[in-house]
Amino acid sequence: MKPALLSLLSLFFLSACQVPSSISKSTATMPLGSELKVALPPLIVGLEAPTWEDVQPVEENAPSWSKPVNDTYTRVSTGRKVVAITFDDGPHPENTPRLLDMLKERRIKATFYVVGNMVKYSPQLIRRMIAEGHEIGNHTVTHGNLARMSDDALRKELQAAHDQIIAETGVTPRTMRPPGGAIKKSQKELMLREFGYPTILWSVDPEDWKRPGPAVVTSRLVNGASPGGILLVHDLHKPTVDAMPSTLDQLLAQGYEFVTVTELIELDEQVSD
Ligand code: NI
């Protein structure tokens, strides 16, 4: 990819992709089932962005859950010292390969909530993620505000990204994360019913997209981690990837085992009602 395109992508994501801090903070503490409304601009600014319209439907054999699942998770209840680390908004052509090297070196499995319009720039990267044992989740095609969409628009966003991931990897995504955490209760129920997707939020948000510096990102993640937790970061940002060696090594030294989001859900000891 050309440097100009890379810097355009970086500039855009710095300025537009992320959620205001007030939203991130309120999301972390909002009760389940509440509606969060955020303003998210279109994914790509200044570029001719691919869209979901040219994605063809695909055949699949979707795996099912071994037990009833909730429509939302911010964490799970487990006696095991496990966490799921999740990387959103990629794949990024430079940061993501570097991150994958770090994960591989430590034999850590992660979950990537990829954006369809980013996948189109670097499809080989999600194939690499799968080949190296990571999990791919659906983060929509355009990274828009789902809470403001009609059910039909929501279905289109999810279905196109779902089909795109299968077309590129042959693997069916099992979970989704709404951009900015913006989602309505009725939409969560729809996604679970029609796609089998639980909505995955998080228990730790270091606000890495505000670029507080790698050391701060590390300390927020390490201090925030707890058994059954879900860590939210973005492989879109270089300083976030810079924070990973120290973060991962500290959590490993504390005895944490890294699992993917679907593995984490299977470990949930809470009985669904
Ligand atoms: Ni996002």
63 found inside a domain: no
Active site residues per annotation: 88, 234
188 found inside a domain: yes
Q: Which residue has the tokens 């279109």?
A: 42
**Residue 176 to residue 197: CA distance in whole angstroms:** 6
| One-letter identity of residue 18 | Q
186 found inside a domain: yes
pLDDT tens column, 201-225:
999 999 998 899 999 999 999 999 9
Please state which of the ranges 43-57, 73-87, 144-158, 231-245 shows the lowest mean pLDDT: 43-57
User: Looking at the predicted structure, is the pLDDT value of residue 51 above 80?
Assistant: no
218 found inside a domain: yes
Give the rounded percent of residues in the chain with a pLDDT score beyond 70.
Answer: 76
R_g over Cα of the chain: 17
Q: Per-residue b/e over 8-36, b at no fewer than 16 CB within 10 Å?
A: ebbebbeeebbbeeebbeebbeeeeeeeb
Give the rounded percent of residues in the chain with a pLDDT score beyond 90.
Answer: 70
Nearest CA to 198 out of 179, 180, 173 is that of: 173
Q: What's 12's domain CATH number? A: 3.20.20.370
pLDDT tens column, 74-105:
999 999 999 999 999 999 999 999 999 999 99
Number of domains forming the structure of the chain: 1
Pairing between β-strand 135-138 and β-strand 82-88 as defined by DSSP bridges: unpaired
Ligand 1 centroid to Cα of residue 249, in Å, is 25
User: With bands split at pLDDT 50, 70 and 90, how would you rate the model's confidence at 56?
Assistant: low
Tell me what pLDDT residue 50 has: 60
DSSP string, 111-124: EEEE-HHHHTT-HH
Ligand 1 centroid to Cα of residue 111, in Å, is 13
Ligand 1 centroid to Cα of residue 53, in Å, is 20
Ligand 1 centroid to Cα of residue 19, in Å, is 8
94 found inside a domain: yes
Tokens of residue 31, six digits: 């009760």
How distant, in Å, are the alpha carbons of 7, 9, 45, 107 from that of 4? 5, 9, 13, 33
Ligand 1 centroid to Cα of residue 18, in Å, is 7
Tell me what pLDDT residue 17 has: 44
168 found inside a domain: yes
112 found inside a domain: yes
62 found inside a domain: no
Average pLDDT rounded to a whole number, residues 24-33: 34
255 alpha-carbon distance from chain centroid:
24
> Which range of residues forms the domain containing residue 116?
3-30+40-49+70-266
Average pLDDT rounded to a whole number, residues 233-244: 95
Average pLDDT rounded to a whole number, residues 7-15: 45
